[in-house]
Amino acid sequence: MRSRFIFSLSDMFKQHRRWGKTIAKAVKVTRKALVATAATKSPVSKPAAKSRSVTRPAAGLQEVKAFGSNPGRLRMLRYVPADLPKKSPLVVVLHGCQQTAEAYDLGSGWSTLARERGFAVVYAEQKRSNNGNLCFNWFRPSNVTRDRGEVMSIRQMVAKMASAHGIDRKRVFVTGLSAGGAMAAAMLATYPDVFRGGGVIAGLPYGAARDVHRALSAMKSTPERAGQEWGDLVRAASPVKRDFPTVSIWHGTKDHTVSLSNADALLQQWLDVHGLDSDAYTQNEVDGHVHRVWKDAEGRTAIELYLIDGMGHGTPLKPRPASRVKADTPGPYMLDAGISSSMHLATAWGLKKSPLVSAVKQAAE
């Protein structure tokens, strides 16, 4: 009797082997995907114990109550992806006036990037008892002098993250908006031995003011000083005299809250600190906006400037499609400018997706 199968036994065995290889490959990809999925999910939150810190985080930002003497009386909130490896990077984020850490995180998407790319985030949050408008006090010498006030509190947060989560002390970065941007500039000036790089968004140069009156004046038009004078303020802020951090400056061309002149003064300040010629830059266009780069003697980017055409006062965002995980969410002072400052900063700092996560994503697609 003739067989009803159109394949021979030899063909069937070959097909069986091919199926076996396909199934094995699918199992391997599935296992990797499960590992990646587990890494993006936070463990179930339990009632807070009396311990002062938590090593395995729950979803969203979590407050750390005790992290040092905290002379600036700031709040510390942090986001650490589940199962974050030791020696992972850390990004310190500083919100603007009339903002909270949670609001800024929702808008900027730093927690989303941390989960996707494998790094930790810590937010310093201002209290209304320190400043009625929730601004960091970047203009008060008592708060921007090394080992004093708010800058010391933020420095202690970095130390707490290092001890609790084993972060890589050689890969610590800071960024902030407006008053938070000015405070980020202060952190780079007072602790250049702590931060490898910083992003100042709609901020002011270090030493632009020493009281509220001069702060308001500087926001309208930064004080006129030579580049060396600006640089001297940074050099006098700490005992470090070399290996200064990289600086990324972001400013909207239509910012009427913090004048664009502050971006130029900030640029001149750090060009002088790095010993670079203001005319020795390359220029290109990124997402429709001007991007200038100054490199050091080894060819590494030392300073970059983004001029966001037509943008007012705020952090530039590029919201993701609705089909993707939310990040870069517009809101007050969080502006859809078609370019993501958070994403570009993370990439410039080498905070990229791990090869395993990228491979799983490609396999899934």
- Distant-in-sequence, close-in-space partners of 338: CB < 8 Å, separation ≥ 6: 287, 288, 289, 316, 318
Q: Are 174 and 184 in contact (CB under 8 A)?
A: yes
* Residue tagged 């390359």 (tokens): 282
Q: Are 142 and 110 in contact (CB under 8 A)?
A: no
* CA distance to 120, 167, 350, per residue, from 170 (Å): 14, 9, 12
* Residue tagged 């700031």 (tokens): 74
User: Across-strand partners of 124?
Assistant: 76, 94
Q: Which helix (H) or strand (E) holds 249?
A: strand 246-252
Q: Residue 300 has which token pair?
A: 């590494």
The CA distance from 365 to 361, in Å, is 6
Q: Got the DSSP string for 51-75? A: SS--SS--SS-EEES-SS--TT--E
The Cβ of residue 277 has, within 10 Å, a number of other Cβ atoms equal to: 8
Per DSSP, 326 falls in state -
Q: Are 197 and 245 in contact (CB under 8 A)?
A: yes
Catalytic positions, please?
Answer: 178
Q: Residue 349 has which token pair?
A: 């700092």
**How far apart are the two ends of the chain, measured CA to CA in Å?**
47
